[in-house]
């Protein structure tokens, strides 16, 4: 029934927030045991750090990370937290996560985020081996570590086993599965991410792009457009082609501009490349290269731009593997370069764990994908 069971007031000095939390939690357990007549286990609130200043910095930084908002401030706050308490494992794992995503959010900024992410992840595990996020980071850096996709999934599985409520681990495993062609499984992981944290906007947007990959176009567009009010732009580029192909050119121009984020981006060239796929795109590529050079951005880092301009040289890299599974890259999945990538990076895993739904084993080491 919806009735009041427990309340109390506490007057304590804020010298150990974890001790206070422990005291309150166990007072609730004791009251409920008496009221309900059932035995409940005592609660132990573990102290992540004895330094309240470090903990406060950690909380602020973690919120910025989840929102993907001002990541430089996030990693600076975490650096301060680890300086205040070098044994604060959760600050180290959060620092690893921030540097992990900074690799793609800040390409060409002069910082080796890959190395910083891995160093922070290993430091966190030295202090607390049972953590979740460090394994997720290590999994996402499988190209750097040399563990490949099998190692990526293995580490991400450990991350989820260590903390099934780690929404970021579910997100990252989904991204990795999608890169490997397992789009249905990616959708499942992204739904799990959102069941843990319904406000995790980047999970919502990756779910939208994954639904495009499964052919659920109407659901994908609904999912994507439901995030527009949040004014967060992580996967906008994937939907530019949809708006062009459905005759919503102004919407396509707007979404393209938001995706590229910088002024005077040659979005018209992007749109026209989608409208005229058989044309020679050399001049458009030149204009994008010139604009990108001025903003320290490579065309290969602008995923759907590379697809529209048919820059197939951008595709066969692990960083850009997701491009190969976009609806607009069906042409690439018929090329020798695509087969070379699969044979080098994915075939062994596919043969052991099953081919993706859109691919078929033809025998004798051959295959085809829709």
Residue 38, pLDDT > 70, answer no
Per-residue pLDDT at 68: 80
Per-residue pLDDT at 322: 82
**Could you give the percent of the chain with pLDDT greater than 90?**
64
Q: Which of 65-74, 114-123, 200-209, 330-339 has the lowest mean pLDDT?
A: 65-74
Residue 99 near residue 120 (C-beta atoms within 8 A): yes
Residue 239 near residue 251 (C-beta atoms within 8 A): no
Least Cα distance to 103 among 93, 118, 90, 88 occurs for 118
Distance of alpha carbon 360 from alpha carbon 92, whole angstroms: 43
User: 183-201 b/e with 16+ CB inside 10 Å = b?
Assistant: bebbbbbbebbbebbeebb
pLDDT band at 257 (very low <50, low <70, confident <90, very high): very high
**Could you give the percent of the chain with pLDDT greater than 70?**
87
Helix (H, G, I), strand (E, B) or coil at 162: helix
Tens of pLDDT, residues 14-23: 555 555 455 5
List of E strands, the chain: 359-363, 366-369
Distance of alpha carbon 77 from alpha carbon 56, whole angstroms: 9
Tens of pLDDT, residues 50-104: 899 999 999 999 999 888 878 889 999 999 999 999 999 999 999 999 998 888 7
Residue 248, pLDDT > 80, answer yes
Considering only residues 112 and 8, tell me which one the structure prediction assigns the higher pLDDT: 112
The mean per-residue pLDDT over the stretch 195-207 comes to: 94
The mean per-residue pLDDT over the stretch 116-135 comes to: 95
pLDDT band at 30 (very low <50, low <70, confident <90, very high): low
The mean per-residue pLDDT over the stretch 128-156 comes to: 93
The mean per-residue pLDDT over the stretch 256-269 comes to: 90
Considering only residues 354 and 36, tell me which one the structure prediction assigns the higher pLDDT: 354
| Other Cβ atoms within 10 Å of 311 Cβ, number | 19
């Amino acid at each position: 029934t919806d009735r009041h069971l427990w309340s109390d007031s506490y007057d304590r000095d804020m010298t150990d927030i974890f001790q206070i939390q422990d005291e309150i939690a166990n007072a609730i357990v004791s009251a409920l045991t008496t009221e309900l007549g059932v035995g409940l286990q005592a609660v132990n609130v573990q102290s992540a750090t004895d330094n309240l200043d470090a903990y406060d910095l950690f909380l602020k930084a973690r919120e910025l990370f989840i929102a993907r908002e001002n990541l430089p401030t996030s990693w600076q706050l975490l650096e301060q937290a680890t300086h205040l308490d070098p044994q604060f494992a959760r600050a180290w794992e959060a620092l690893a996560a921030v540097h992990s995503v900074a690799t793609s959010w800040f390409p060409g900024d002069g910082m080796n985020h890959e190395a910083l992410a891995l160093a922070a992840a290993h430091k966190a595990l030295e202090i607390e081996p049972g953590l979740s996020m460090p394994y997720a980071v290590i999994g996402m850096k499988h190209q750097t570590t040399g563990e490949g996709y099998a190692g990526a999934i293995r580490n991400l599985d450990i991350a989820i086993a260590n903390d099934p409520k780690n929404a970021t681990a579910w997100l990252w495993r989904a991204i990795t599965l999608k890169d490997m062609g397992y789009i249905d499984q990616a959708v499942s992981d992204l739904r799990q991410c959102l069941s843990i944290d319904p406000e995790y906007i980047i999970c919502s947007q990756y779910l939208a792009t994954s639904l495009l990959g499964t052919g659920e176009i109407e659901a994908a567009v609904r999912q994507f457009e439901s995030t527009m009010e949040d004014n967060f732009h992580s996967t906008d580029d994937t939907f530019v082609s949809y708006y062009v192909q459905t005759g919503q050119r102004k919407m396509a121009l707007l979404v393209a501009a938001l995706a590229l984020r910088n002024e005077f981006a040659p979005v018209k060239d992007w749109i026209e490349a989608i409208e005229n796929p058989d044309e020679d795109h050399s001049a458009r590529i030149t204009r994008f290269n010139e604009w990108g050079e001025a903003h320290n951005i490579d065309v290969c880092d602008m995923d759907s731009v590379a697809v529209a301009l048919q820059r197939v040289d951008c595709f066969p890299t692990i960083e850009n593997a997701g491009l190969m599974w976009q609806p607009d890259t069906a042409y690439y999945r018929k090329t020798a370069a695509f087969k070379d990538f699969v044979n080098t990076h994915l075939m062994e895993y596919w043969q052991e764990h099953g081919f993706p739904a859109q691919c078929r084993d033809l025998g004798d080491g051959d295959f085809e994908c829709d």
